[in-house]
Amino acid sequence: MEIILKETIDTLGQEGEIVKVKPGYARNFLFPMGKAVPVNKESLARLENEKQAIAARLATQQAEAKGLAAMLDDKVVVVAKRAGEENRLFGSVTSSDIASALESAGVAIDRKIIVLPEPIKALGEYRVQVRTGYQTNAYLLVQVVPEEAVQEEN
């Protein structure tokens, strides 16, 4: 089934693109959520009228993604956690912890764009990918330190 996307979906395509999906996916998810419309004469005419506005929105979003990537690239984030023997953490460092550490440093991002293949469970330095959008990625350096070391500094 061919549909026109009303918003950008990472796994399907950009806003305004015509893509093929399975009928059940379109009928049960995309249409009810308002993310797509079926391809017909009316929707194609509406798409032609809105092409310039869509292109301008996409350019703005792409510029924002590149700006965020430039700001985050090679930024160092320190996360303090309780650690036990052999530098193992009680619990783990998740994307939420990294997002809150970034927010305290003055950069507010959604935790969902932080890519952690698996939670961090030991002290050390880790290179973490952040998907800023439009196939643009930034890489953070996350330093996981014991809580005791942070308390001693204060």
Which CATH number is 94's domain given? 3.10.430.100
The domain boundary, picked from 64, 93, 114, lies at 64
pLDDT (0 to 100) of residue 33: 94
pLDDT (0 to 100) of residue 154: 54
Query: What is the 8-class DSSP label of residue 124?
Result: E
pLDDT (0 to 100) of residue 135: 76
CA–CA separation, 129 and 132 (whole Å): 9
List, run by run, the mean pLDDT of 10-residue segments along the chain (154 residues): 89 89 95 94 90 88 86 86 84 89 86 88 90 83 81 58
- Tokens for 124, please give them: 């050390």
Co-location of 75 and 39 in the same domain: no
pLDDT (0 to 100) of residue 150: 57
Longest dimension (CA), the chain: 68
Sign of CA dihedral 36, 37, 38, 39: negative
pLDDT (0 to 100) of residue 64: 87
The domain boundary, picked from 64, 90, 108, lies at 64
Co-location of 145 and 80 in the same domain: yes
Q: Which residue, among 144, 115, 135, 117, has the nearest Cα to 69 in the 3D structure?
A: 135
Co-location of 131 and 84 in the same domain: yes
Pairing of strands 76-81, 136-146: parallel
The total of structural domains in the chain comes to 2
Q: Which domain holds residue 33?
A: 2-64
The half-sphere exposure of 103 on its side-chain side, counting CA atoms within 13 A, is 10
- Tokens for 99, please give them: 């997002």
Co-location of 77 and 44 in the same domain: no
Helix (H) or strand (E) holding 4: strand 2-5
Using a cut of 0.75, tell me whether the model's pTM lies above it: no
Co-location of 97 and 141 in the same domain: yes
Co-location of 36 and 91 in the same domain: no
Co-location of 60 and 86 in the same domain: no
Co-location of 44 and 77 in the same domain: no
CA–CA separation, 154 and 123 (whole Å): 20
- Tokens for 108, please give them: 């507010």
Co-location of 35 and 8 in the same domain: yes
